[in-house]
């Protein structure tokens, strides 16, 4: 299990690789697995990761330990996994940010979302939501637009980081609604939510899972979900598109291993992940915040990533968002 890419590529006899990797796959896993979440603790991706990791641990017989590696809109954590040994012991909770948006926005790309990863499984699709601090004098999307137009550049909105789906949600909203507000990036949804709750910032586009409890407790106002249809867990909350026709964003969570991970190990991780998604408690939690459970083959996830890149490319170009 100590082989890294350089060691494997340097082996003169291909038969050695062929004999060692399947043998390793047969005993996988023999120790704990690190699941890298490329954002700070407390956000939607972190929540999904911890639910999935706990149930994968049961299936695999070894702990799946969540490690938060936040920063650079998810790029630091994703790049770490891309460069990790392809042995299945370091895997990534990827998102639309790490595997579609960031690669489209970044001037310098630390990894390739297609060639540097081995897809494992598409786990869930998650709505985003427009939330505001209760002290902001608005109760719906129209009132927010009117307030922003009457006070250009006075208000700011938070996101989980530059280039994230939440950042793009805000920029798309500004463009389509014809309003101005400053973007304040954080190292994850958790820190951004803390400042929103404390009224250091007034507005945020968040993943619905991490804001749902605050909306129910009325510590935040949910103005609208960003999907085409209303979220089942909040049937009375309108969509943003009901006020801004055509507006739509969302995110998703999926498992990836480094490129070169043996297919047998990918298959083991896929089986454990998809089994985790059948756990009744996990299903209940996901339903609570309207996360749509998927579970897929590695091949289906590979196709999904390519489709997402193709879908978001014209949107990213239209907003003009680029990242250094």
pLDDT band of 321, cuts 50, 70, 90: confident
* Residue of 176, 48, 158, 234 lying closest to 222 (CA atoms): 234
Q: SS3 for 184?
A: strand
Q: Please give the sequence-ordered ranges of beta strands (E in DSSP) within the chain, or none if there are none.
A: 33-37, 64-68, 90-95, 117-132, 156-159, 182-185, 203-207, 221-225, 250-258, 292-293
Does 324 reside within a domain?
Answer: no
Tell me the C-alpha to C-alpha distance, in Å, between residue 261 and each of 74, 75, 91, 132, 163: 22, 20, 10, 43, 28
Residues 138 and 214 in one domain: yes
Does 227 reside within a domain?
Answer: yes
The number of beta carbons lying within 10 Å of the beta carbon of residue 109 is 14
What's the start-to-end Cα distance of the chain, in Å? 36
Instruction: Name residue, tokens 């680029």.
Output: 322
Range ranked top by mean pLDDT from 13-22, 84-93, 304-313: 84-93
Does 166 reside within a domain?
Answer: yes
At 219, which CATH number? Answer: 3.40.190.10
Residues 108 and 257 in one domain: yes
Does 247 reside within a domain?
Answer: no
Residues 82 and 182 in one domain: no
pLDDT at 3 over 90: no
Residue 31 has a pLDDT of 97
Pairwise pLDDT comparison (44 vs 148), residue with the higher score: 148
Write out the residue range of the structural domain in which residue 131 sits: 127-242
Q: Among 179, 208, 242, give the residue marking a domain's end.
A: 242
Contacts of 68 (CB under 8 A, 6+ apart): 37, 39, 40, 41, 46, 77, 188
Residues 116 and 18 in one domain: yes
Residue 23 has a pLDDT of 55
DSSP state of 323: B
Mean of the pLDDT values across residues 131-139?
A: 98
* Residue of 139, 184, 146, 148 lying closest to 166 (CA atoms): 184
Token pair of 149 as six digits: 């137009």
DSSP state of 99: I
Range ranked top by mean pLDDT from 25-29, 226-230, 267-271: 267-271
Residue 22 has a pLDDT of 56
Does 152 reside within a domain?
Answer: yes
Does 28 reside within a domain?
Answer: yes
Residues 9 and 42 in one domain: yes
Over its C-alpha atoms, the chain yields an Rg (Å, rounded) of 20
Residues 160 and 259 in one domain: no
Residues 215 and 290 in one domain: no
Q: What is the DSSP string of 113-130?
A: TTTSEEEEEEEEEEEEEE
Residues 268 and 221 in one domain: no
Mean pLDDT taken over the chain: 89
pLDDT tens by residue, 207-250: 898 899 999 999 999 999 998 889 988 999 999 999 999 998 88
pLDDT band of 20, cuts 50, 70, 90: very low
The count of structural domains within the chain is 2
Does 30 reside within a domain?
Answer: yes
- In this structure, of 1-10, 123-132, 208-217, the range with the lowest mean pLDDT score is 1-10
Does 103 reside within a domain?
Answer: yes
Q: Among 215, 242, 269, give the residue marking a domain's end.
A: 242
pLDDT band of 137, cuts 50, 70, 90: very high
Residues 112 and 195 in one domain: no
pLDDT at 40 over 80: yes
Cα dihedral 16, 272, 42, 192, rounded to 10, equals: 70
pLDDT tens by residue, 156-213: 999 988 777 888 899 889 999 999 999 999 888 889 999 999 999 999 999 898 899 9
């Amino acid at each position: 299990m100590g082989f890294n890419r350089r060691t494997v590529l340097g082996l003169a006899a291909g038969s050695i690789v062929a004999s060692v990797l399947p043998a390793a796959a047969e005993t996988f896993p023999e120790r704990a697995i690190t699941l890298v979440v490329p954002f700070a603790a407390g956000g939607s991706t972190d929540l999904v990761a911890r639910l999935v990791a706990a149930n994968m641990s049961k299936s695999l017989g070894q702990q799946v330990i969540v490690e938060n590696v936040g920063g650079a809109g998810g790029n630091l954590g994703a790049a770490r996994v891309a460069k990790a040994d392809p042995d299945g012991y370091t895997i990534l909770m990827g998102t639309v940010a790490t595997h579609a948006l960031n690669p489209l926005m970044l001037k310098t790309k630390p990894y390739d979302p297609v060639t540097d990863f081995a897809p494992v499984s598409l786990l869930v699709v998650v709505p985003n939501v427009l939330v505001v601090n209760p002290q902001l004098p608005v109760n719906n999307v129209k009132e927010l637009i009117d307030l922003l137009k009457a006070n250009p550049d006075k208000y700011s909105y938070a996101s989980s980081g530059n280039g994230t789906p939440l950042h793009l949600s805000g920029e798309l909203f500004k463009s389509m609604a014809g309003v101005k507000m400053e973007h304040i990036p954080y190292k994850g949804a958790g820190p951004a939510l803390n400042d929103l709750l404390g009224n250091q910032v007034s507005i945020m586009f968040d993943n619905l899972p991490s804001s749902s409890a605050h909306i129910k407790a009325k510590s935040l106002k949910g103005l609208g979900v960003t999907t085409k249809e209303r979220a089942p867990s909040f049937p009375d909350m309108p969509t943003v598109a009901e006020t801004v026709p055509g507006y739509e964003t969302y995110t998703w969570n999926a498992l990836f291993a480094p490129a070169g991970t043996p297919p047998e190990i990918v298959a083991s991780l896929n089986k454990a992940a998809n089994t985790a998604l059948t756990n009744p408690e996990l299903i209940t939690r996901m339903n609570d915040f309207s996360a749509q459970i998927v579970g897929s083959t590695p091949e289906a996830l590979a196709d999904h990533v390519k489709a997402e890149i193709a879908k978001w490319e014209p949107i990213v170009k239209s907003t003009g968002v680029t990242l250094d």
